[in-house]
Amino acid sequence: MIGLQAGERRFAHTERAGRAQTERILPMIDALSETAGIALRELDAIVMGRGPGAFTGLRVTAGVVQGLAFALDLPVVPLSSLRILAQTAARRHGAERVIAAFDARMDEVYWCACEYRDGIMVTVGEERLTPPEQVGQDLDGAWFGVGPAWAAYAGRMGARLSMADEGLMPQGEDALELGARALAAGEVVPPERAIPVYLRNQVAWKKSPPPASFGP
């Protein structure tokens, strides 16, 4: 997911690069810059989906964003990837109360609730990492569910939904919408603070004890 905004014009590109993300991301940025006719040095800021999400993907994204921001002397606008997904649901489906959820593996879900206010999605409470059965259990009323976790844990998610779009993923134009608002409000950080948000401290599941070490 990448996007570029110049005035009122927005350009976006989304593809599922998977393991090829490292090789694809810079050529994608260059191609979008060429399509828009905007040089990267003309930008005012860089918007970053800072997670939560897949560890490798977030590390690659943060590395590229930091490199570009340092090189171009630009601030960074870090945004919740879940909130961007909720914004996509608002644009695509007119949804106003959304639970965005990613599969966190290890039988857990990254999720947050968002509500549509003044033209953008705002988070309700905090982003969470929980078992699927706990998703939305403390929320009243019906919600619109979006994101791949709804398919991965079908029948186990705790929330009551009015509708769902399990295949929906965050889109670049929605990151630009939220990013423009955040930039206008001064919600930026320097490049060194453009870091991923994982929610999970344990990034590897060790199935066996570490090997014994032998000293002198």
What is the tens place of the pLDDT at every residue in 89-121?
A: 999 999 999 999 999 999 999 999 999 999 999
pLDDT (mean) for 73-86:
98
What is the tens place of the pLDDT at every residue in 13-26?
A: 877 766 677 788 89
What is the CA 192 to chain-centroid distance, rounded? 19
Q: Nearest-5° angle of CA 4, CA 45, CA 69?
A: 105
Q: Nearest-5° angle of CA 35, CA 179, CA 71?
A: 65
Would you tell me the crossing angle of helices 55-72 and 21-36 to the nearest 10 degrees? 40
What is the tens place of the pLDDT at every residue in 125-166?
A: 999 999 999 999 999 998 999 999 999 999 999 988 999 999
Asked if residues 39 and 32 have their Cβ atoms less than 8 Å apart, the reply is no
Helix, strand, or coil (residue 127)? strand
212 burial type by CB count under 10 A (0-12 exposed, 13-18 middle, 19+ buried): exposed
Rounded Cα distance between 10 and 129, Å, is 33
Cβ count near 142 (within 10 Å):
12
Which residue, among 80, 73, 82, 125, has the nearest Cα to 103 in the 3D structure? Answer: 82
CATH superfamily for 81-165 is ATPase, nucleotide binding domain (3.30.420.40)
What is the tens place of the pLDDT at every residue in 161-184?
A: 999 999 999 999 999 999 999 999
Domain boundaries, the chain: 2-80+170-193, 81-165
pLDDT given at position 171: 95
pLDDT given at position 18: 64
Strand partners, 145: 99, 164
Give percent above pLDDT 90 in the chain.
78
Whether residue 193 has pLDDT greater than 80: yes
Helix (H) or strand (E) holding 46: strand 46-49
Rounded Cα distance between 118 and 156, Å, is 33
CATH code, 2-80+170-193: 3.30.420.40
85 burial type by CB count under 10 A (0-12 exposed, 13-18 middle, 19+ buried): buried
pLDDT given at position 17: 64
Tell me whether strands 120-130 and 109-117 are parallel, antiparallel or unpaired.
Answer: antiparallel
Task: Answer whether 2-80+170-193 and 81-165 agree in fold.
Answer: yes
At 201, the pLDDT band (50, 70, 90 cuts) reads low
pLDDT (mean) for 184-211:
76
